[in-house]
């Protein structure tokens, strides 16, 4: 199995943190450096557009933060009609929809699981329209469903994963997802002991795509999305190294700035948080 390493460097506004606060991380160390935004040299400024706050992979959707119509992925497809996207898993029914990009990433992830002998995955639910979510809420009530517009399934970034071997709580597929999904940009959205934060009880079947390095940081620090976004708001800038790739993640509160720094060259991604801010992730 391929080893994954990640080094996080938490960058503070001023000063260095003492060596006694350096913590272990996947057999490496957390290195703490001064907040100089070293990963954003040769930048250009871009004005924040309102739509950017409501688009991207890091959108927070819960009881207090509903889905905006502009947040729904534009590449929603009927997965059954795209056999190239279902090579490594099965569908519970032929009506399941999902972002084509996310379906491809999920297929790649379960292909990696198959290399480790875990190969009985299925998708039981993917994207749901507001109308479908509303009907589900009407039928199942608040104990088992969320109102229309308040479910991550309305985005196209989340899916419910099952196993043909049994319940995900005990099936090998469930254990593999819990320990390995982060390597492929997915997180277990509603883990154990986080109901007070997420408002949702443990769901070992519900995964959400957030992308790297965010999934790696959240996994290491045992954070759910609510905690991770709050963490970014507090730190403003962090850097992370996942495998051989280095990232700088910067948070821009919309109320405090009108422009964001983007590299003149290199890869970067912009995501809103659906709260009022924008996250820029630069890959060095």
Q: What is the mean pLDDT of residues 224-230?
A: 98
For residue 143, the model assigns a pLDDT of: 56
- Helices and strands (DSSP H and E) totals, the chain: 6, 17
For residue range 13-69, list pLDDT tens digits in order: 333 333 332 223 333 332 323 343 444 445 667 777 777 889 999 999 998 999 998
Q: Which 3 state secondary structure label does DSSP give 187?
A: strand
Query: Which pLDDT score is estimated for 9?
Result: 41
Q: How far apart are CA 262 and CA 268, in angstroms?
A: 8
List Cα–Cα distances, 134 to 6, 151, 190, in angstroms: 41, 10, 21
pTM for the whole structure: 0.83
Contact in structure between 246 and 7 (CB atoms under 8 Å): no
Is-catalytic flag, 203? yes
Q: How far apart are CA 1 and CA 3, in angstroms?
A: 6
Tokens of residue 153, six digits: 């399934």
Express each pLDDT in 129-153 by its tens digit: 878 777 776 776 655 567 777 889 9
The pLDDT of residue 232 is above 80: yes
Each domain of the chain, given as residue ranges in start order, spans 67-209
pLDDT at 22: 28
Question: In what side-by-side order are the strands of the sheet with 33-34?
Answer: 33-34, 6-12, 237-242, 245-253, 277-283, 267-272
Any idea which fold 67-209 has? Muramoyl-pentapeptide Carboxypeptidase; domain 2 (3.30.1380)
From 114, 203, 235, 283, active-site residue: 203
Q: How many C-beta atoms lie closer than 10 Å to residue 29's C-beta?
A: 14
Which of 113, 115, 129 lies closest to 171 in space, CA to CA?
A: 113
Give tens-digit pLDDT for 149-188: 788 999 999 999 999 888 999 999 999 999 999 999 999 9
């Amino acid at each position: 199995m391929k080893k994954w390493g990640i080094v996080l460097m938490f960058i503070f506004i001023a000063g260095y943190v003492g060596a006694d606060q350096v913590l272990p991380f996947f057999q490496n160390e957390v290195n703490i450096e001064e907040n100089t935004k070293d990963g954003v040299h040769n930048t250009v400024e871009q004005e924040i557009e309102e739509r950017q706050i409501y688009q991207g992979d890091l959108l927070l959707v819960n009881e207090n933060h509903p889905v905006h119509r502009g947040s729904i992925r534009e590449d929603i497809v009927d997965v059954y009609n795209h056999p190239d996207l279902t090579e490594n898993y099965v569908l519970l029914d032929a009506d399941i929809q999902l972002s084509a990009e996310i379906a491809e990433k999920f297929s790649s992830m379960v292909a990696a699981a198959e290399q480790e002998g875990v190969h009985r995955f299925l998708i039981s639910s993917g994207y749901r329209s507001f109308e479908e979510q509303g009907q589900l809420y009407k039928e199942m009530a608040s104990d088992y469903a969320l109102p229309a517009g308040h479910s991550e399934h309305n985005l196209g970034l989340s899916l419910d994963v099952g196993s043909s071997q049994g319940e995900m709580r005990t099936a090998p597929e469930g254990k593999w997802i819990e320990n390995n999904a982060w390597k492929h940009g997915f997180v277990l959205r509603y883990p154990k002991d986080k109901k007070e934060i997420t408002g949702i009880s443990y769901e070992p079947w519900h995964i959400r795509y957030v992308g790297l390095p965010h999934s790696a940081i959240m996994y290491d620090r045992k954070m759910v999305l609510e905690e991770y976004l709050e963490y970014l708001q507090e730190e403003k800038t962090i850097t992370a190294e996942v495998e051989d790739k280095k990232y700088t993640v910067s948070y821009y509160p919309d109320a405090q700035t009108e422009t964001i720094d983007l590299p003149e060259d290199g890869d970067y991604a912009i995501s809103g948080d659906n709260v009022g801010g924008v996250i820029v992730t630069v890959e060095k």
